[in-house]
Each structure stands twice: as structure tokens, then as C-alpha cells.
Structure 1
């Protein structure tokens, strides 16, 4: 059986140890010869890599392990690039969340103005990794789960149309795990789902078991009472605010009881509630820095000090299993059915053909084959058209260096009440992101000069 070479781009991420553990758990299905880490922050990566090297030596000493900040060393002779970068790290995420909240607007890392700010930082970073891959390993595939996935996916469609990049998200996977628990099933893989939308912006329309039995009524019964809250939850979404998110799914569901919603729709449909229940001084970024980040770095430090994983509390991240499944589908042409972010191209009949939609696909060695969704209802269509326009305007703003288009994108977002509020938030975000964003031309100022 062929053995694969994988590079994890974002080797210093707190999610990296979970991915390594998942890869090691699946060596019988997806054997590795080389595992590499790449990051542009050497110090941060070394803390994670030091522990992961010990984990690999204990579990699979035959695998070559490399941690590097040199792109040529990282990307030469690889079959898959698993990318989860965060340009600006959690310090910038905190600003993405706190600046909009200052103006009474949802502060969230992938939704609303914060998501657009993050997108403006991410596009260049993701493109840099694509370009390294294509230079040093042109036959490799990139499995990208760097956020905000919707904006990154649109940027790849528009500006890297021929690149072998698949954009994925773990949130539907996490919700489906909760659905499976609600039903008393051992795994989300026992579910056959129909789903459509944009990333962090979608709906399940049909959920069955392998025998074809309709499972939607039982899940809906649970959601009406509890949202997506379950007894065991998951190990990834542990911050206190996640419980509120999974509970709020009850209210999102009430808007269209024919479907089951993605939790992120709460930010667009109940922005007043979200802002009212947000701590403007201590956001989810702070929760992650004080919780997950300290935990992962602390556990890694213990492994390095002890030169052993004995007693380690590091665990597999659920989103990692999805990445292994996707890599296997491409490597072995398994034709597994998976939710991916792909160009619509008629899959949703009455929606923009160039929109990047999240829908079930059959995945094989040539990549994804999207399944036909048909026509969608007016409510969802209207919401999606507004949001896909936001995403396209952000990418155009990045490409053209256009202040005007980014202002338009923020004004168009369902989370923002007016153009004047959008402008205030945008001006603050420009100042905060001056080291990360392309320089934006102020077309409005130029226009005012002409009119004067």
C-alpha cells in the first residue's frame, strides 16, 4: 500500500496535535511515510512540534517527522497539504470580535465585520501556501480548513481557479455528531444527509439512516426542546459560550421548521440577542486563549519535559477525522459522500452559478462531484443571495484594494444596521489591520475631491 507524505500548514496551531493523533489512529487506512509541519512562527511551532515529534516516535517511529519554517523543505515531495492557518493569531481575532461590538454589532470570527476582517487577512496567507505547494509539489492536493472558509473559497474560485484546493468546514460534522447522539447512534457516519447553503450558513433538509428511515422528526423533537445541546457534547466546542450557541438553535429552527439549521445562522437572524449576550471586554477569543490555547501548550510542554506522552490529556479533534476521510477519498477514489464548499454551477438551480455553496459531494481521485439540490425556498434563497454578495465584495475589495467595496460588503451584511455604522467599524478595522491587509484606496475621498 502506498504511503503518503503530508505537510500540516499551521504547525503551531492548537489544533495540530489533534490532527496528528487522528492521523496516527488511521495509519491502517491512510499510511504515512512523512509528516511535516510548516509555520512562519518558529517559536510557536517548536512548542507544538516538540511534543508531536515524541508522539510520532512513540506511536509510529517509522514515519519521518520534520518541522520547518523553510517553504522548500516543507512543501517538497508532499501528497497532501492540510492547511489551518490563522493570520494574526488570536490577538487579531480578539479585535475582530471587539471592534464591531463597540458599535453594537455582532463580533464573531467568521460572521459579519469580524469575519470580513479575518478574510482580508487570510486570503494572502492561503494563496502563499497554494503557491508553495504548486511550486514544490505540483501534483499535491490542498485540504484547506483555514477560516473564514466562505471568503477563502470564493477567493480561490476567482483568483486560483485551477488550483487543487478543497475547502472544508467541521461545523456541520460537529452538529451531525450531536444529532447522532440524540438518535442513540454510535457515529455521524450512520447518517445520510441532504444539506445546502453557504459555509456557516446552511440547512439540513433530509436526514436518514442507511436503511432509508427518516430521522428528521426525532431530531426536530429534540431541537424544539434543547436545540443541539446533548449530554456529552464534544471535546472541541468546550468554551462556555458554545452551550448558548447550541441552545439558541431552537429559535433559529422556529423560523423554518421544515429544515434543521446550522448554528451560525443565529448571528444573522438574532444579532440583537447575540450582542445583548456578548461580553464586549471578554469575547470567545479570550475564552480560547485562556482555555484551549493554555491547555494545549501546557500539555505539549509536559510531554517535552517528560520526553513521554504518559499521562497526557491531548485528544483527537473531531474535525481531524473529516480531513482524514477527505484525504482517503482522494487517495483511494473511495467516492465517499461529504459536505464540501464548491462552485454552485447549477447544483442549486435558482441560485448564483458562481456562488461557493456547501453541499453534499461524491469525492474521488478527481476531486468532488456535487450532488444536485434542485430549487430552494425563497427565504433561504434571499438570505444566501445577500450573504454570497458580501463574500464576493470582500474578495473584490482584497483584489482591487477597494475601500468602497469593503464598505459595501459591511453595509450589505445582515449583521450591520446601517452604512454609517459599517463605515465606523471599517475605519477602526483598517487601523487594527494595517500590518495585514492590502492598502485600500479611498475612492469616496477621490470622488469628493472631484465633486468639490
Structure 2
């Protein structure tokens, strides 16, 4: 009989991996992980070895019986896995920099998962995730896919619609980051805070906010009308909200809503940042170089605090908490990306949504909310249309469909601008878009 769990992490050479290892160490008394397989591509071999050696030191110092395996052979890593986590970036940070710079040159927001950048990240990533799913069906058919790769909502929906596996959960650190932010504002322990989430990945709203089961939404909204109390992430510059707007919205926006409700200001800020200090991708590249220098230190055997400067802080806490809850059938409530199944009335049942769910051994069970409030319903539906058309373009490799997706995104001003950006980005990312060439 198999002893313990096998975890496979695709994109194992990521700078986030030490956070994941820390999480498995923390929960080991209830989550009997025996093997963690870190897999990457040839270009990531050096980073994989650096991160893998740190992971081994962390496990040894913690005194837990987890074996760390490093490999470039994905099939070897997937065989008989219980959980597969994905955290890869097709084209690496160089591709992200193009996703940011090219739209900015056309006067359009350049961002990793929103607008043209989000479209092209999906176009590069979806064919790869579908290939991984086909291998999982063959090599580990009972495994759950826990996807952190962005754009997480589109990846989840692509797997649900076009792959042979249905055991998939998309994960984002935005909901847990928002809960942490509320906990800091109210000066309470994070465990006491719960936000009732509904929407889409990077387009999710807090419908209500609870501390010890009592609603504190009005208090939190009142607090965040003060620009000093913004709830944001390391990769998003928070502008602060107009108090009258927030009170009328009567919902807790997520940090990514800055791109939609403050498009002009965010574009101006991005253009200035790109000119003065570089795009976010260039800043992250420098951060990663510093992190990997730290990771090389043979005396380092913990996750360094500098990792929290990355936009994915709390990722491991979210990922390992989810796997732990599924394994133990804990039935706690977490916000994840999963099949809608009627949770949000105006979104198709088979689509992926980001919503608070009861986490069981059979997977997430979405909490039914009925419909989204009228003020946000249209924007969410527009982004869902963008996601659906983008996924179709990624799968079919169809130019016209990609142009349609780009044009219907609310951050792109016209079909002409969309075509200019599309043409330039198709050339820039040619090596990672075989379906279009």
C-alpha cells in the first residue's frame, strides 16, 4: 500500500517554491506528504537546482520525512501523483515584460493578467496546461490539479471545457490577501476573518465581511475610504477610492479593480513607472535575482522574508490550506476558482467562477449567492465574455477570434488599437504561439 502523498509541482524552479515547501512542513502532522517532485524545463534547470537544494535544507532542518526530487522529466514527476500544483510561466519574465511594454507603447494598460497582457499570457499558457492534463489522465488519473498559474480563472475554465480531467481547482492569493488586509485593518487574528467572495479571478468582490461570524462590512468600507487604509498587493499601486463611490458600491473591491475603475490613473502611473524604473516584470526580475542569490546560501534553511515582496505573498498558505482541507475533508470555507454550478445566476453553469466554497474531499462545493448586485454584474459578465473568447482563440489558434477577444476587453479602446497590439504581440511571442503559426 502507498505510504503518504506524492505532490508534483510544475514550475518547481519558481521563486515561490520555498513558500510551498514551508506550507507542507507546517501542515505535515495532518498532511502526510512523503514525496515532493519539483519539475521544470531545461531553461529553468539552474533555478530548479538552487530552489531544490534550499527545499532539502528546509525539510532537513524541520525534521520531517519528506523526500525532495528534482527532474526535467514531467512524465516521471506526474506518475502516481496525488496532487499536481502548477506555477509556471511560459516564456518566463521576458515574455511578461513584452506583455507590459507593447500595450503601453500603444497607450493601453500593460499588465500581466488584465487587458492585452492577460490575453497573451492565456494564449501561451492554455495549450501547455491542456497537454499537462492529457498526461495526468494517463499517468495520475485520480490526482487533483491545483492551478496557481495565471490567468488562473481562464486556465481553470480551459481545463473544465477542453481537457479530459475535471478534478481541477484554480487558486489565487487575492482572496487570502484581502482577508489578511482586513485582519490588519481591524487588528484581529486572520483566523477570525471571513469574506464572502463572488465574481471571477482578479474580478472578485467581497459581498460581506465577517469577524467571528458578525458582519463588519460597513466598518471595513468606512475604513478603506481613507487612502491610508488601502488593501492592495505588492504588484499593484493602490490609488485609494473615492469615499462616495465605495459607499454606493457597498462591496469590497479587490486590488485588481484599480485597473477597471481607475483605468486612466493606472495607465498614467504605469507609463511613469516604465519610464523611471522599468515595468513590473523588470522589477520582479531584479527581485528574483536577489532572491536566488539568497537561496544559494548553504546556511539558509527557511523561507526568506524578502519573498513577500513578490506579488504572490500568501500563495503557499492558500495552496497548502486547500490541499489540507481536501485531504482531511475539513469542510471549511475558502475562495477558489471552480465550476459555477449555479452559484452565480448570471454566469453559465459550466464556467469557472471565483467564489467562496465549502472544501470537501470531493473538491470545492460553491456557496450559492443567487445573482451579483446590479452595479457589478455587467462588468463581470463582460470579463467572462472576454475569458471565453480568449480561451477559444488559444485552443483554435484563430487570429480573428483573438482580435475579437482583445477588442471586447474593456481596457482596450478600439478594434484598430486592438489589431495593432495583436499584430505586434503575435510577432513578439512567436516562439510560444505555435497554434497561430
Q: Normalized against structure 2, the TM-score is what?
A: 0.91
Q: Which runs of 5+ in 2 are unaligned?
A: none
Q: Which residue of 1 aligns with 2:322?
A: 326
2:382 is the alignment partner of 1:381: no
Say if 1:257 and 1:198 are closer, same or farther in 2 by CA, change over 3 A. Answer: same
Moved more, 50-59 or 256-265: 50-59
Q: Which residue of 2 aligns with 1:84?
A: 87
Residue 252 of structure 1: how far off its partner (Å): 10
Residue 45 of structure 1: how far off its partner (Å): 1.1
* Structure 2 CA distance for aligned equivalents of residues 272 and 110 of structure 1: 18
Residue 280 of structure 1: how far off its partner (Å): 3.3
Q: Which residue of 1 aligns with 2:268?
A: 276
Equivalent residues in 2 for 1:72-111, closer than 5 Å: 72-111=75-114
Q: Which residue of 1 aligns with 2:192?
A: 190
* Structure 1 CA distance for aligned equivalents of residues 141 and 306 of structure 2: 34
Q: Which residue of 2 aligns with 1:53?
A: 56
2:211 is the alignment partner of 1:206: no
Moved more, 373-382 or 408-417: 373-382
4+ runs of 1 displaced by more than 6 Å?
none
Q: Which residue of 1 aligns with 2:391?
A: 395
Residue 131 of structure 1: how far off its partner (Å): 2.6
Moved more, 249-258 or 321-330: 249-258
Residue 309 of structure 1: how far off its partner (Å): 2.9
What CA RMSD, in Å, does the superposition of the two structures yield over aligned residues?
2.3
* Structure 2 CA distance for aligned equivalents of residues 61 and 128 of structure 1: 33
Residue 388 of structure 1: how far off its partner (Å): 0.6
Equivalent residues in 2 for 1:280-429, closer than 5 Å: 280-281=274-275, 282-291=278-287, 293-303=288-298, 306=299, 309=301, 317-429=313-425
* Structure 2 CA distance for aligned equivalents of residues 27 and 130 of structure 1: 27
Are the equivalent residues in 2 in contact too, given 1:30–1:324 (CA < 8 A)? no
Q: Which residue of 2 aligns with 1:145?
A: 148
* Structure 2 CA distance for aligned equivalents of residues 198 and 311 of structure 1: 30
Residue 227 of structure 1: how far off its partner (Å): 6.2
2:69 is the alignment partner of 1:66: yes
Moved more, 377-386 or 259-268: 377-386
Aligned length: 426
Say if 1:74 and 1:314 are closer, same or farther in 2 by CA, change over 3 A. Answer: farther
Q: Normalized against structure 1, the TM-score is what?
A: 0.89
Q: For 1:34, what is the secondary structure of its paired residue?
A: strand
Q: For 1:163, what is the secondary structure of its paired residue?
A: coil
Are the equivalent residues in 2 in contact too, given 1:253–1:261 (CA < 8 A)? no
Are the equivalent residues in 2 in contact too, given 1:398–1:438 (CA < 8 A)? no
Q: Which residue of 2 aligns with 1:449?
A: none
Q: Which residue of 2 aligns with 1:126?
A: 129
Say if 1:224 and 1:313 are closer, same or farther in 2 by CA, change over 3 A. Answer: closer
Moved more, 105-114 or 263-272: 263-272
Are the equivalent residues in 1 in contact too, given 2:58–2:301 (CA < 8 A)? yes
* Structure 2 CA distance for aligned equivalents of residues 161 and 253 of structure 1: 44
* Structure 2 CA distance for aligned equivalents of residues 39 and 168 of structure 1: 20
